[in-house]
Amino acid sequence: MFCSSKNTWLLSISLIFCMVCASNAREAPSFRVKAVNLGGWLVTEGWIKPSLFDGIPNKDFLDGTQLQFKSVTTGKYLAAELGGGSIIVANRTSPSGWETFTVWRLNEKAFQLRVFQKQFVGLDSNGKGKGVLAVANSPGVSETFEIVKKPDDSKRVRIRAANGLFLQAKTEELVTADYADGNTKWGDDDPSVFVFAIARKLEGEFQVTNGYGPLKAPQVMREHWKSFIVESDFKFISENGLNTVRIPVGWWIASDPVPPKPYVGGSLAALDNAFLWAKKYGVKIIIDLHAAPGSQNGWEHSASRDGSIEWGKTDEIIKQTVAVIDFLASRYAKEPSLYAVELINEPLSPGVSLDAVNKYYKAGYDAVRRHSATAFVIFSNRLGPMDPTELFPLASGLSGTVIDVHYYNLFTEEFDNLTVQQNIDFVNTNRSAQLNLVTTANGPLTFVGEWVAEWNVKDATKEHYQRFAKAQLEVYGRATFGWAYWTLRNVNQHWSLEWMIKNGYIKL
């Protein structure tokens, strides 16, 4: 191309340059991520390492535990009448939403109980009365209870209110906090005795740190961080056909060493170590913001306190999250191992709106680009009801973007009764089609950021697992950015890629 004036010449050069950039950004890189997630390390998940919770005192009652109480005298369940905003009754025959009380833990002895409509159980007359209501939107002293267990494992409890007296089911329709007898025999005639059942537990970072409390949690978590993932894991990864790790982190890492309570400092030093080891063994790193402030999906792996989703509801919380990304990008942009930043993991529809993720992804993308021109920026598709291409309008206009999809043959009914072959066919047919749908010539790259060779098939043999893993590797190998197995280490064998490799189930 010949140009008459110098200015036009420069303009043309930059145009060509830009076209080259743009086409490079859109072309699938020849390098494909073959990654493993380091799940359960810097963001706690109890099912990955249950022993982490062993030392917590009174661990039946952790934040987010859903309790149901059956009065031994009425034989009926305690309920928040209308699900909240009214009185507490003891007249319900079967437990469901209104009969469920979600724990907020203050310490091993003091608890607050949140009802279906999110109010807290408390005493009337500003805590001076003996009537029991569920009207307070934020809990105070009169919404605080001690749950006294019968000293055996019978699941019998009494609930002592802030006035020092026990709750009692006087009648089915009258629950009061005025039972004084401290010397109960725990018999079926004592109206202050309830049998409790646990309907759900959460075992995430909030639960483990708040469960141990401010004195023990730092010690327990630091021990976990320095022993659960170590340098030799990076050696193992580099020697077994993997080239990348996806590291889930929580938002509190950005305020290390003194994060807001109950979180404890030290996870940042662990992440620093990961970068050292990654450099040494030639492994790339994807930083994945797995737990965003307020929780983006209500699950334990986003550090939800009680199952609620608060993330994305205000501009403030989005700004706070962008600041976390800014912090991480600025800290690690110069590291040769930094390959990508995933802005948030699994925001859940409809609790998190498309509007909120779009706004956040744009601002989060800009935050990464302020520090790095080359790191890929990964947008996790929402889970729940959504269109899998809903992020395309935004992602297609930005270079170096990736859409993350998670494929598990689990968690929904459609997989309940599938045979070995049906599971494999589902991968070959349905997953292929789903992946094709999000893999486009001019759109973002695609990443299967979580998958596992586990299913609902009972009594599957080693050979079955091998075939299932192989089918997934083949299909997910077509993702233009790559894939990541969930997870490196897990007490559940098939969820541990280390175990799967060492035992010959998966070969890369």
Ligand X SMILES: *[C@@H]1O[C@H](CO)[C@@H](O)[C@H](O)[C@H]1NC(C)=O
**Residues making contact with ligand X (CB under 6 A):** 81, 89, 91-92, 173, 413-414, 416-417, 429-430
Q: Is 230 helix (H, G, I), strand (E, B) or coil?
A: coil
How far apart (Å, rounded) are the C-alpha atoms in residues 84 and 98?
A: 8
- Whether the CB-CB separation of 50 and 44 falls below 8 Å is answered with no
How far apart (Å, rounded) are the C-alpha atoms in residues 55 and 215?
A: 13
To which residue do tokens 């059942």 refer?
197
How far apart (Å, rounded) are the C-alpha atoms in residues 220 and 214?
A: 11
Nearer to ligand X, 153 or 413 (CB): 413
How far apart (Å, rounded) are the C-alpha atoms in residues 192 and 342?
A: 51
- Whether the CB-CB separation of 300 and 64 falls below 8 Å is answered with yes
Q: How many CB atoms lie within 10 A of CB 109?
A: 15
To which residue do tokens 């990008």 refer?
329
How far apart (Å, rounded) are the C-alpha atoms in residues 352 and 238?
A: 37
Q: Output the smallest distance, CB 416 to ligand X, in A.
A: 4
Q: Output the smallest distance, CB 173 to ligand X, in A.
A: 4
How far apart (Å, rounded) are the C-alpha atoms in residues 89 and 76?
A: 9
Q: Output the smallest distance, CB 88 to ligand X, in A.
A: 10
* Residue 452, C-beta contacts closer than 8 angstroms, at least 6 positions apart: 408, 410, 485, 486, 487, 494, 495
- Whether the CB-CB separation of 469 and 462 falls below 8 Å is answered with no
Nearer to ligand X, 183 or 417 (CB): 417
Q: Output the smallest distance, CB 132 to ligand X, in A.
A: 12
Q: Output the smallest distance, CB 131 to ligand X, in A.
A: 13
DSSP state of 295: -
Q: Output the smallest distance, CB 78 to ligand X, in A.
A: 11
Nearer to ligand X, 40 or 191 (CB): 191
Q: How many CB atoms lie within 10 A of CB 313?
A: 14
Nearer to ligand X, 14 or 429 (CB): 429
Rg (CA), the chain: 26
How far apart (Å, rounded) are the C-alpha atoms in residues 501 and 488?
A: 10
Long-range contacts for 459-464 (Cβ within 8 Å, ≥24 apart)? 460/420, 462/503, 462/504, 462/505, 464/420
How far apart (Å, rounded) are the C-alpha atoms in residues 319 and 310?
A: 14
Q: Output the smallest distance, CB 133 to ligand X, in A.
A: 12
Q: Is 76 helix (H, G, I), strand (E, B) or coil?
A: coil
Q: Output the smallest distance, CB 104 to ligand X, in A.
A: 26
Strands 445-451 and 401-406 turn out to be parallel
- AA identity, residue 376: F
Q: Output the smallest distance, CB 428 to ligand X, in A.
A: 10
Nearer to ligand X, 107 or 419 (CB): 419
Nearer to ligand X, 169 or 445 (CB): 169
Nearer to ligand X, 82 or 398 (CB): 82
Nearer to ligand X, 231 or 414 (CB): 414
Q: Both tokens of residue 98?
A: 């209104």
Nearest to 37 by CA among 209, 229, 223, 222: 229
Q: Output the smallest distance, CB 404 to ligand X, in A.
A: 21
Q: Output the smallest distance, CB 264 to ligand X, in A.
A: 42
Q: Output the smallest distance, CB 471 to ligand X, in A.
A: 14
How far apart (Å, rounded) are the C-alpha atoms in residues 331 and 336?
A: 12
Strands 77-80 and 244-250 turn out to be unpaired
